C-alpha cells in the first residue's frame, strides 16, 4: 500500500523512530544498576512489549488487570499491575497469575488481607508492593506509619510475598522546566526513601523501589532511591512530552487526516474530531504546516486554521502530532506502520485497546 492511499483518520507509527526510542531508553538505564520496567498502558501492544524485554527490560507494567490479561496471554511473562486491584477482580488476577508472573500494588491493610487470604486458598503466592502516595494525591498509602502497616500486612499474609514499594510521581511528569522538574521529583523520592527506611526499620527488607515515568526516570536514577523505573510514553512521545526539557526521545506517532472540505475562507475541515484524537491535554500539533493550528469541530471533524487555501485541496493529507499519546492510542484498533522513508510497512493491532477493566 502507498501511504497516500491510507484510510484516514489513521494512527501512524514510525517503527524506525520507535526502535531508536526503545534503544535510547535501554541504553540510558542499562549501566545504572536500575531496572527498566516500561509501562505498556501507553502502547498497548504485546509486540512492542516483547521488543522492550528483548532490549533488557526486567518486565513490563500494565495499569489494569485487563491489560495484563492481554500481555500475559501474548507471552509477556513478568507484569506489574500498577493500580490497585479491587476484590471483585481477584479471581481474574489469580487465574492470570497461574499463567505468568503477575505482581500487584496494595495501599490498604484490608486489601492485603483479602488478596492474601484468597491467594492462599488457591495455594498461590502473589508478589505485592506497597503503593505509596508520594504527592500525586491519588491512590497509595500515606508515607510513614500507614505504609509500614500495609507492608506488615503483606508480610503477614500467607498468600502474599512482600516485594517492595511503588511511588509514582505522576504530577511531576509534565513540569517542563528541567531544574524545577528535578526539584519536585526529588521531593517525591525523599518521601519514598523515608518510607523505605521506615519499613526497613520494622525489619522488613525492601527489595524493589519502583517509580517514575518518561519525564522523570532520569531524576529517579540520579537520586538513587529507585531500583526500577516505569516510563511509558518515551516509546512514541507526544506534544506534551515534547515540551519537557532535555528528553532525548523523538516523536514516532502521528494521526494522518484528510482535508474533506475547503469551502470556508478561515480554515479547512479535516476528518479528525474527538473520536479520532484525544484533547484532554489540549489540541494536537500540526506537522509540516508552520503557523497553523488544529481545533476540534465535533466528533468527526477538525478545523485547521491559517492554511494557505492555494495549497489546500480536498483529499490532501494533514499530519497531526497527538498532544497525549496514551489516550489517543486508546481510540484506535491498530497502528499503521511506516519507516523513516515514509514507506508503509504494515499494520499492528493495539491488542489492549479499551482493556480498561
By CB under 8 A, residue 141 contacts a copy of itself: yes
Question: What pairing do the DSSP bridges indicate for beta strands 126-131 and 160-166?
Answer: parallel
By CB under 8 A, residue 264 contacts a copy of itself: yes
Q: Is 6 exposed, middle or buried (0-12, 13-18, 19+ CB in 10 A)?
A: middle
CB of 327 to a copy of itself, least distance (A): 5
Residues 150-179 that bind a copy of itself (CB under 8 A): 170
DSSP element (H, E) containing 178: helix 178-201
304 touches 290 (CB < 8 A) = no
Pick the piece of the chain touching a copy of itself (CB under 8 A) from 136-144, 158-166, 200-208, 216-224: 136-144
The residue length of the chain stands at 357
By CB under 8 A, residue 40 contacts a copy of itself: no
By CB under 8 A, residue 112 contacts a copy of itself: no
Nearer to a copy of itself, 108 or 211 (CB): 108
CB of 170 to a copy of itself, least distance (A): 6
Nearer to a copy of itself, 87 or 224 (CB): 87
Q: Is 299 exposed, middle or buried (0-12, 13-18, 19+ CB in 10 A)?
A: exposed
CA 312/CA 293 separation, integer angstroms: 14
By CB under 8 A, residue 146 contacts a copy of itself: yes
Could you tell me how many residues of this chain bind a copy of itself (CB under 8 A)?
64
Residue 198, CA atoms < 13 Å, CB-side half-sphere = 20
CA 208/CA 211 separation, integer angstroms: 10
324 touches 240 (CB < 8 A) = yes
CB of 304 to a copy of itself, least distance (A): 12
By CB under 8 A, residue 315 contacts a copy of itself: yes
40 touches 67 (CB < 8 A) = yes
Q: Which residue from 77, 158, 275, 347 is in contact with a copy of itself, where contact means CB under 8 A? A: 275
By CB under 8 A, residue 135 contacts a copy of itself: no
Neighbouring residues of 21: CB distance < 8 A, sequence distance ≥ 6: 234, 235, 236, 237, 249, 250, 252
By CB under 8 A, residue 195 contacts a copy of itself: no
CA 219/CA 343 separation, integer angstroms: 37
CA 213/CA 337 separation, integer angstroms: 25
Q: Can you read off the three cell numbers belonging to residue 56?
A: 533488557
By CB under 8 A, residue 295 contacts a copy of itself: no
Specify the DSSP class assigned to residue 309: G
The distance from CA 62 to its chain's CA centroid, rounded to whole angstroms, is 8
Nearer to a copy of itself, 86 or 200 (CB): 86
Q: Which residue from 17, 119, 331, 348 is in contact with a copy of itself, where contact means CB under 8 A? A: 331
CB of 269 to a copy of itself, least distance (A): 5
CA 114/CA 134 separation, integer angstroms: 24
User: Site mask, a copy of itself, residues 4-23, x = CB under 8 A?
Assistant: -x-xxxx-------------
User: Site mask, a copy of itself, residues 53-92, x = CB under 8 A?
Assistant: ----------xx-x----------------xx-xxxx--x
Pick the piece of the chain touching a copy of itself (CB under 8 A) from 119-127, 202-210, 257-265, 339-347: 257-265
Binding site for a copy of itself (CB under 8 A): 5, 7-10, 41, 63-64, 66, 83-84, 86-89, 92, 107-108, 110-111, 133, 137-142, 146, 170, 258-264, 266, 269, 271, 274-276, 278-280, 296-301, 303, 314-315, 324, 326-327, 330-333, 354, 356-357
Amino acid at each position: 500500500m502507498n501511504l497516500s492511499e491510507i484510510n484516514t483518520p489513521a494512527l501512524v507509527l514510525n517503527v524506525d523512530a520507535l526502535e531508536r526510542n526503545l534503544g535510547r531508553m535501554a541504553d540510558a538505564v542499562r549501566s545504572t544498576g536500575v531496572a527498566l520496567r516500561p509501562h505498556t498502558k501507553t502502547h498497548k501492544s504485546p509486540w512492542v512489549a516483547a521488543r522492550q524485554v528483548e532490549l533488557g527490560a526486567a518486565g513490563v507494567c500494565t495499569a489494569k488487570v485487563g491489560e495484563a490479561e492481554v500481555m500475559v496471554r501474548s507471552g509477556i511473562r513478568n507484569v506489574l499491575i500498577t493500580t490497585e486491584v479491587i476484590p471483585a477482580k481477584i479471581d481474574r488476577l489469580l487465574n492470570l497469575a497461574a499463567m505468568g508472573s503477575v505482581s500487584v500494588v496494595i495501599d490498604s491493610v484490608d486489601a492485603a488481607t483479602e488478596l492474601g487470604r484468597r491467594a492462599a486458598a488457591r495455594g498461590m503466592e502473589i508478589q505485592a508492593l506497597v503503593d505509596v502516595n508520594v504527592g500525586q494525591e491519588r491512590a497509595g498509602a500515606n508515607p510513614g506509619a500507614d505504609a509500614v502497616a500495609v507492608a506488615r500486612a503483606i508480610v503477614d499474609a500467607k498468600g502474599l510475598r512482600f516485594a517492595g514499594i511503588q511511588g509514582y510521581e505522576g504530577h511531576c511528569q509534565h513540569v517542563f522546566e528541567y531544574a524545577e522538574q528535578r526539584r519536585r521529583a526529588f521531593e517525591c523520592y525523599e518521601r519514598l526513601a523515608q518510607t523505605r527506611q521506615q519499613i526497613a526499620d520494622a525489619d522488613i527488607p525492601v527489595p524493589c523501589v519502583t517509580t517514575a515515568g518518561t519525564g522523570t526516570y532520569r531524576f529517579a536514577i540520579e537520586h538513587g532511591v529507585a531500583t526500577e523505573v516505569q516510563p511509558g510514553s518515551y516509546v512514541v512521545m507526544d506534544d506534551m512530552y515534547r515540551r519537557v526539557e532535555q528528553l532525548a526521545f523523538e516523536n514516532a506517532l502521528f494521526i494522518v487526516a484528510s482535508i474533506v472540505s475547503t469551502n470556508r475562507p478561515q480554515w479547512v475541515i479535516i476528518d479528525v474530531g474527538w473520536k479520532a484524537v484525544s484533547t484532554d491535554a489540549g489540541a494536537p500539533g500540526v506537522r509540516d504546516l508552520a503557523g497553523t493550528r488544529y481545533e476540534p469541530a465535533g466528533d468527526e471533524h477538525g478545523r485547521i486554521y491559517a492554511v494557505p487555501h492555494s495549497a489546500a485541496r480536498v483529499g490532501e493529507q494533514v499530519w497531526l502530532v497527538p498532544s497525549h499519546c496514551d489516550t489517543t492510542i486508546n481510540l484506535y484498533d491498530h497502528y499503521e506502520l511506516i519507516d523513516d522513508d515514509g514507506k508503509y510497512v504494515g499494520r499492528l493491532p493495539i491488542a489492549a485497546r479499551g482493556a480498561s477493566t
